[in-house]
Chains A and B, each alone.
Chain A
Amino acid sequence: MKITQQSTENTLTLSLDGELDASSSVVLDTELSKPEILHNHKVLVNCQKLNYISSAGLGVFISHLQRFQDAGVKLVFFNMQEKVHNVFEILGLDSLMTIVPSEADATAI
Chain B
Amino acid sequence: MLFARKRNSLLLILSILSWLGLLACTLLSAHPDLFGPHVEVPGWLLLLLQALFMVAVFAEESTTPDRLRGLDFVGLLRRLVLGPVLLAVAFAGLHLLLQLVVGRPPAGSVTHTVLHTLNIGLFVILLARTNYAWRSLVLFRSSDQLRRLWFCFEALLGATLLLRLFTWTLPYGLGPALLGVLAVFGAYVSSHQKWVAYLSRRQKLEAVLLQLAVILTMATFIFYFLHAPHYPKLPALVIQRSFLTVNAFFAGFYALMGLLVTVFNMPTGRVFEQKREEILNLQRLTQLIQRGQNPQEVYQVFFDSSVQTVNADAAWLSVETTSDEEYSGQYHHILPEQAQAICHLLADYNLGHIEYLNNDLLNSSGFRGLGLPFGSLIVMPLRSSKRQYGALYMLKEPSQSFDRENLSILQTFASQTVLSIENLQLVQASLDNQRVQDELKIASAVQDSLIPKNLPIDNWFEISSHALAATEVGGDFYDFLHLPGRRLAVLIGDVSGKGVTAAFHVAQMKGIFHALMQENPLARNEREKFPVPSKFMAQANNALARCLEKAAFITASLYIIDYEHGGFVFARAGHCHTLYYHSIKEEVSYFHTAGLGLGIIRNDGYEKHIKNQFYDYNPGDVMVIYTDGIVEARGADQEEYGEDRLKQMLERTYYLDADEIKEQILADLNEFSRGQPMHDDQTLLVIKFKASQPEPSL
Binding site for B on A (CB under 8 A): 22, 29, 55-56, 58-60, 62-63, 65-66, 83, 90-93, 95-96
* A96–B497 touching, CB < 8 Å: no
- Complex formed: what's the CA distance from A59 to B595 in Å? 17
Given contacts A56-B551, A58-B553, A60-B551, contact A92 B609 (CB under 8 A): yes
A96 surroundings in chain B (CB, below 8 A): 596, 600-601, 609
Of B577, B595, B600, which is in contact with the most chain A CB atoms at under 10 Å from its CB? B600
Q: Is B576 an interface residue (CB 8 A)?
A: yes
Q: Is B12 an interface residue (CB 8 A)?
A: no
Q: How far, in Å, is A88 (CB) from chain B's closest CB? A: 10
User: Can you list 22 residue pairs at the A/B interface with Cβ under 8 Å?
Assistant: A55-B553, A56-B496, A56-B551, A58-B553, A59-B496, A59-B551, A62-B551, A63-B551, A65-B600, A66-B602, A90-B555, A90-B575, A90-B577, A91-B574, A91-B597, A92-B574, A92-B595, A92-B597, A93-B597, A95-B594, A96-B600, A96-B601
Is the contact region of chain A dominated by helix, strand, or loop, or is it mixed? helix
* B640–A93 touching, CB < 8 Å: no
Q: How far, in Å, is A91 (CB) from chain B's closest CB? A: 4
B574 surroundings in chain A (CB, below 8 A): 90-93
Of B494, B576, B601, B640, which is in contact with the most chain A CB atoms at under 10 Å from its CB? B601
When the two chains form the complex, which single residue of B496, B552, B596 contacts A92, counting CB atoms closer than 8 Å? B596
* A91–B555 touching, CB < 8 Å: yes
Nearest opposing residue in chain B for A94, CB measure: B594
A59 surroundings in chain B (CB, below 8 A): 496-497, 551-553
When the two chains form the complex, which single residue of A66, A83, A91 contacts B596, counting CB atoms closer than 8 Å? A91
- Complex formed: what's the CA distance from A73 to B597 in Å? 23
Q: A63-B550, A91-B600, A93-B600 are in contact. List 15 more A-B contacts (CB 8 A).
A: A29-B551, A55-B497, A55-B553, A56-B497, A58-B496, A58-B553, A62-B551, A65-B600, A90-B555, A92-B596, A93-B596, A95-B596, A96-B600, A96-B601, A96-B609
- Complex formed: what's the CA distance from A90 to B557 in Å? 12
A66 surroundings in chain B (CB, below 8 A): 602
- Complex formed: what's the CA distance from A55 to B609 in Å? 19
Q: Mark B533-572, 1 if CB is under 8 A from A, else 0.
A: 0000000000000000011110100000000000000000
Of A56, A62, A90, A93, which is in contact with the most chain B CB atoms at under 10 Å from its CB? A90
Nearest opposing residue in chain A for B551, CB measure: A59
Interface residues on B, range: 20 to 34
Is the contact region of chain B dominated by helix, strand, or loop, or is it mixed? loop
- Complex formed: what's the CA distance from A92 to B576 in Å? 11
A83 surroundings in chain B (CB, below 8 A): 640
B640 surroundings in chain A (CB, below 8 A): 83
Q: How far, in Å, is A75 (CB) from chain B's closest CB? A: 14
- Nearest 10 interchain pairs by C-beta: A92-B596, A59-B551, A55-B496, A91-B574, A63-B551, A63-B550, A91-B597, A92-B574, A62-B600, A92-B595
- Complex formed: what's the CA distance from A95 to B552 in Å? 18
- Complex formed: what's the CA distance from A83 to B641 in Å? 12
Nearest opposing residue in chain A for B550, CB measure: A63
- Complex formed: what's the CA distance from A62 to B553 in Å? 9
- Complex formed: what's the CA distance from A56 to B496 in Å? 7
B596 surroundings in chain A (CB, below 8 A): 91-93, 95-96
- Complex formed: what's the CA distance from A29 to B323 in Å? 32
- Complex formed: what's the CA distance from A10 to B570 in Å? 44
Q: How far, in Å, is A94 (CB) from chain B's closest CB? A: 9
- Complex formed: what's the CA distance from A92 to B597 in Å? 7
Q: How far, in Å, is A55 (CB) from chain B's closest CB? A: 4
A65 surroundings in chain B (CB, below 8 A): 600
A22 surroundings in chain B (CB, below 8 A): 497
* A95–B600 touching, CB < 8 Å: no
Q: Mark B253-266, 1 if CB is under 8 A from A, else 0.
A: 00000000000000
Given contacts A55-B497, A90-B576, contact A95 B551 (CB under 8 A): no
Q: How far, in Å, is B673 (CB) from chain A's closest CB? A: 15
* B609–A95 touching, CB < 8 Å: yes
- Complex formed: what's the CA distance from A16 to B595 in Å? 27
- Complex formed: what's the CA distance from A56 to B574 in Å? 15
- Complex formed: what's the CA distance from A65 to B597 in Å? 14
Q: Mark B571-613, 1 if CB is under 8 A from A, else 0.
A: 0011111000000000000000011110011100000010000
- Complex formed: what's the CA distance from A59 to B550 in Å? 8
- Complex formed: what's the CA distance from A69 to B161 in Å? 119
Q: Mark B639-676, 1 if CB is under 8 A from A, else 0.
A: 01000000000000000000000000000000000000
- Complex formed: what's the CA distance from A29 to B552 in Å? 13
- Complex formed: what's the CA distance from A59 to B496 in Å? 8
B595 surroundings in chain A (CB, below 8 A): 92
Q: How far, in Å, is A30 (CB) from chain B's closest CB? A: 13
* A92–B594 touching, CB < 8 Å: yes
Of A55, A58, A83, A95, which is in contact with the most chain B CB atoms at under 10 Å from its CB? A55
Q: How far, in Å, is B147 (CB) from chain A's closest CB? A: 73
Nearest opposing residue in chain A for B552, CB measure: A59
- Complex formed: what's the CA distance from A29 to B550 in Å? 12
B551 surroundings in chain A (CB, below 8 A): 29, 56, 59-60, 62-63
B601 surroundings in chain A (CB, below 8 A): 96
- Complex formed: what's the CA distance from A66 to B640 in Å? 31
B575 surroundings in chain A (CB, below 8 A): 90
Q: How far, in Å, is B22 (CB) from chain A's closest CB? A: 100
B497 surroundings in chain A (CB, below 8 A): 22, 55-56, 59
B550 surroundings in chain A (CB, below 8 A): 63
- Complex formed: what's the CA distance from A83 to B9 in Å? 103
- Complex formed: what's the CA distance from A102 to B210 in Å? 105
A95 surroundings in chain B (CB, below 8 A): 594, 596, 609
Q: How far, in Å, is B483 (CB) from chain A's closest CB? A: 26
- Complex formed: what's the CA distance from A59 to B597 in Å? 11
- Complex formed: what's the CA distance from A22 to B679 in Å? 11
- Chain B positions 496-533 with a Cβ under 8 Å from a chain A Cβ: 496-497
Q: How far, in Å, is B637 (CB) from chain A's closest CB? A: 12
- Chain B positions 480-497 with a Cβ under 8 Å from a chain A Cβ: 494, 496-497
A63 surroundings in chain B (CB, below 8 A): 550-551
- Complex formed: what's the CA distance from A87 to B640 in Å? 12
- Complex formed: what's the CA distance from A66 to B599 in Å? 12
Q: How far, in Å, is A61 (CB) from chain B's closest CB? A: 9
A60 surroundings in chain B (CB, below 8 A): 551
Q: Mark B83-94, 1 if CB is under 8 A from A, else 0.
A: 000000000000
